[in-house]
Amino acid sequence: MLPLAYLREQPEKIKEGLAKRNFPQPELIDQLLETDQKRRALQSQLDETLSKSNQLAKEIGTLFKSGQTEKANALKAQTADLKTAGKALQEELQNIEVTLLSLRTQIPNVPDESVPSGNSEDDNEEIFSAGSIPDLEENALPHWELATQYDLIDFDLGSKITGAGFPVYKGKGAKLQRSLIQYFLDKNTAAGYTEFQVPHLVNEDSGFGTGQLPDKEGQMYHVPEDGLYLIPTAEVPLTNLFRNQLLEANDLPICLTGYTPCFRREAGSYGANVRGLNRLHQFDKVEIVRLEEPHNSRAALDQMIDHVKGILEELELPYRILKLCGGDLGFTAALTFDFEVYSTAQKRWLEISSVSIFNSFQSERLQLRYKDKNGRKQAVHTLNGSSLALPRVLAGLLENNQTANGINIPKALIPYTGFETIK
């Protein structure tokens, strides 16, 4: 959520920033500020009422001690009225605080000034590209056909067991999947990220803390009997490790990594764009998360981008980096860079990572603070990125490395797979 102080101090700047997102309800800012003003007025009334009640209570005690019973009883009637008024004010305050929170949760993060304007992914800005696109033979196959030919992934069996979007990896396909997970974790821990194994289900407070709840896109799998949600990314449990905490400046930065399966009820019609590994309801991903002091968060973002670049270069995959426009920016993000790998067989780019900075947006929801060097409490800045999402990385590896004699494994992965070629 946006900090209340920020909303009070710079409402017009916030509206201007949200216009980059094509945010349809700028009037919510005004409604929020009016509600906040009412809340503050009620709080002032309540504080005054409680103060009067406490003062009278002291006076009554003094009167009883001095034997002035009649005066004491007269004041007791006043305290009863004050208690009734205080209870009514407390109830009204609770109701208005619920309204205020509801309004705050409807307002997305303000885009960074560098975010380009735009309406959709078509307006994203390419800022970097690397690697050479291989020149494949005319009969090059997409990954779903390669997976069948080499008996790596069984999509039909996954559909039989669960449904579409839940593939079954087998043989060298399963080994390659496991190798990628281990490789990503090793790269992340070598870069200073501490590995965690975290739950794959989270409670509502955790989903709210990182901004997945309220679920606006209907992408969360829900277990209503237990009030739990299957995670859409390891970002949720990793970041929530520090919910409701007050850290010290010397605790930061905190760098975390973890492997989890991810679950998403993503919509999409059947076709080339969603075939095979292009869009799944369950997939594996290795995540990196950082908690930073505000003055260091942008440098941390650059470090995360360079880290992902290094991994993709070791995997010898052609890739590009896009700066997302306002219309394609996630609800919680202030700035996001998408990494895309080129799929030669499909002749298109596939998103394989997003690296984002949230500034204090998540920490406001998480109630995550730290004491700076001057002892002042401040919101922590949070960042996260995929390092990496496996399905489309695997798709790119299969498609771009296919030859007439099999599929070659990148040198960086051979120590993990134990084989150089899939035949």
- Please report the pLDDT score of residue 269 as a whole number: 47
State whether residue 292 is helix, strand or coil.
strand
Mean of all residue pLDDT scores within the chain: 94
The closest alpha carbon to 238, from 217, 209, 213, belongs to: 209
State whether residue 416 is helix, strand or coil.
helix
The closest alpha carbon to 352, from 325, 319, 307, belongs to: 319
Ranges in the chain annotated CATH 3.30.930.10: 121-422
Query: Cα(first)–Cα(last) distance of the chain, in Å?
Result: 51
DSSP codes of every residue in 383-407: EEEEEEEHHHHHHHHHHHTEETTEE
Which numeric CATH code is attached to 4-105? 1.10.287.40
CATH fold group of domain 121-422: BirA Bifunctional Protein; domain 2 (3.30.930)
Average pLDDT score over residue span 247-269: 90
| Whether the Cβ atoms of residue 96 and residue 38 lie closer than 8 Å to each other | yes
| Whether the Cβ atoms of residue 372 and residue 249 lie closer than 8 Å to each other | yes
**pLDDT of 414 above 50:** yes
**pLDDT of 275 above 50:** yes
**pLDDT of 422 above 50:** yes
State whether residue 231 is helix, strand or coil.
coil
**Which stretches of 66-137 are DSSP H helices?**
69-105
pTM of the predicted protein model? 0.92
* pLDDT interval class at 136 (50, 70, 90): confident
pLDDT in tens, 287-307: 999 999 999 999 999 999 999
